[in-house]
Structure 1
Amino acid sequence: MIERLNRTYKTSYRPTNGFDNIDGANYELALWVTYYNFLRPHKHNNYKVLNDIEMLHGANNIPGKWQLLIFLRQQTILNLQNGEAANCS
C-alpha cells in the first residue's frame, strides 16, 4: 500500500511542481485514501472494494460514487457539529 501511495504522490507531485502548501498535500492524500478504501476493487478481495457502502451500489459510475461519498461526509460533519457522533457511521 505504501508503494502505491508513493507512486500516486510522484505522479501528482511532478506535473504540478509540488504542492503550494501542506493543505494541498493533505487534500491529495485524503482523496487517495478515499479512492483506495471505498472505490478501488482489490485483487486480494475478489475484485471488491475494501469498505463496501450499500448506498454506493445505486451509483452507476465513479463520479456518482464520489458524489455520494461527499454527501455522506457532509452528513457526518453535520452530525458531529450537532453532538450526534454516536450516529455517524
Structure 2
Amino acid sequence: MARRKSRNKYWMQGAVKRPGELRKWLKRNKRRIVGAIKEDPFDEKGRIKVTALKKLRKTRFYEELPPQRKQEINYAIIAHKLRKRR
C-alpha cells in the first residue's frame, strides 16, 4: 500500500497554536528548569537548546506540566529534527 502524500506541507505551522509561547515560558521559569536539568535552556545567542528540552522531558518537573506545555516542548523537538533533514 502506497503512503499518502500530505496535503499540507506546512502542517507544523498550523500545529503551533501560540508561536513564541514556549520561549516566554522558558524565560519565566528559567530558575526552576535549571534546577531540574542543571543546564541553561538557552545558548549564548539566546536560542533554545534542544538538548535541554530533551533532558527536561526525563524529569519529574516535566511530568507535572500541563498537556499544552508538554505539547509545545515536543513540537520544538520535532521541528528541530525536521530542520536537520533538509
Considering only CA atoms, is the larger Rg found in Structure 1 or Structure 2? Answer: 1
Same-fold status (TM-score > 0.5):
no
The structure with more helix, counted as a fraction of residues: 1
* Length-normalised TM-score, structure 1: 0.33
Question: RCO higher in 1 or 2 (8 Å CA, sep ≥ 6)?
Answer: 2
